Structure 1
Amino acid sequence: MESTPPSNTPQFLGRDTPLPASPEAAVLDYVPNPRPGLTYLVRFAAPEFTSLCPVTSQPDFAHLVIDYVPRDTIVESKSLKLFLGSFRNHNGFHEDVTVGIGVRLNAEMRPKWLRIGGYWYPRGGIPIDVFWQSGKPPEDLWLPDQGVQAYRGRG
């Protein structure tokens, strides 16, 4: 897992950047939190996330929602997009993929709090939803619902 020390100049913005070959090869950029000392929520929604089934190599689709409360850094959105896109050719069970994304972001960014919801579309007739969080959310945090309905043809 590579990460870039926070800087004011992200390495991917404004550049033609190919998709990383794998999640392990993906580099996430972090920049200084523009509002240090404040408690606020950042949400990324990736409604078209894809990875591959580790048994059949067939595509799996999910709607990911990543919420976090920054501490010293925020993740640069283009690098996050490239990281998430690198899963298109990655074989992994829903649980491993969802939790692995949350754990990596938490370990590298060290936010005050982070949670991820992976709302996976059915394979074999069963939708699987996977949730992980780094601990209890800050008491003074406004925490909206992730907004993804239980499966009834999500969308």
Structure 2
Amino acid sequence: MTNTSPYRHVTLLGQHAKQPMSPEDAVLERVANPATGKHYIVRLVCPEFTSLCPLTGQPDFAHVVIDYVPNHWLVESKSFKLLLGSYRNHGCFHEACTMEIAAKLVGLMDPIWLRIGSYWYPRGGIPIDVFWQSNAPPADLWVPAQDVPPYRGRG
């Protein structure tokens, strides 16, 4: 990439990057939206999200789905993957993890609309699902279902 590249500010893409030890250490980056002014959805899915219980240190597992309508920016995917991976050693309740991720994305991109669904696998017999959206989606937008089935145990 040259100094005149629109991606010159992106520091992680195209090179080796160490996994951040915590979400506070993670560097979340953005790139320009190539279709500013059009309403379309970007979906980010992490079926193997992990974090730690802040009290017991036991691992927690979730399937995370994020949909957003970009305004001027997109999240750069490598930096996003590194952010999600940084939660593996981070003690955080399900609700806090979900809302932290949403806040980081909204703060970085200022999207037109964003929603997050985190579908947590049970510990102690109770699955916890957390949902949030920034506002109502644009009226002309087709919003697909997240299609993550509720936890059923062994059936």
Which has the higher Rg, Structure 1 or Structure 2? 2
TM-score normalized by the length of structure 2: 0.92
In 2, Cα distance between the equivalents of 1:119 and 1:127? 8
Q: Who is 2:24 aligned against?
A: 24
Cα deviation, 1:81-135, whole Å, max 9, x if unaligned, reads 0000000000010000011111111122100000100000001000000001111
- Counterpart-to-counterpart distance in 2, 1:103 and 1:130: 14
Name 1:8's counterpart in structure 2. 7
Q: Give the 3-state SS of the residue equivalent to 2:47 in structure 1.
A: strand
What amino acid is aligned across from residue 50 of structure 1 in structure 2?
A: T
Q: What residue is the counterpart of 1:53 in the other structure? A: 53
Post-superposition shift, 1:50? 0.2
Q: What does residue 126 of structure 2 align with?
A: 126
- How far did 1:139 drift? 0.7
Deviation at 1:21, TM superposition (A): 1.5
Higher strand share: 1
CA RMSD of aligned residues (A): 1.2
Residue 3 of structure 2 aligns with which residue? none
Q: Which residue in 2 is equivalent to 1:145? A: 145
Structure 2: stretches of 5+ with no match in the other structure: 1-5
Match of 1:86 in 2: 86
Amino acid in structure 2 at the alignment position of 1:144: P
Runs of 4+ deviating beyond 6 Å: none
How far apart are residue 153 of structure 1 and its match?
A: 4.5
SS of residue in 2 equivalent to 1:28 = coil
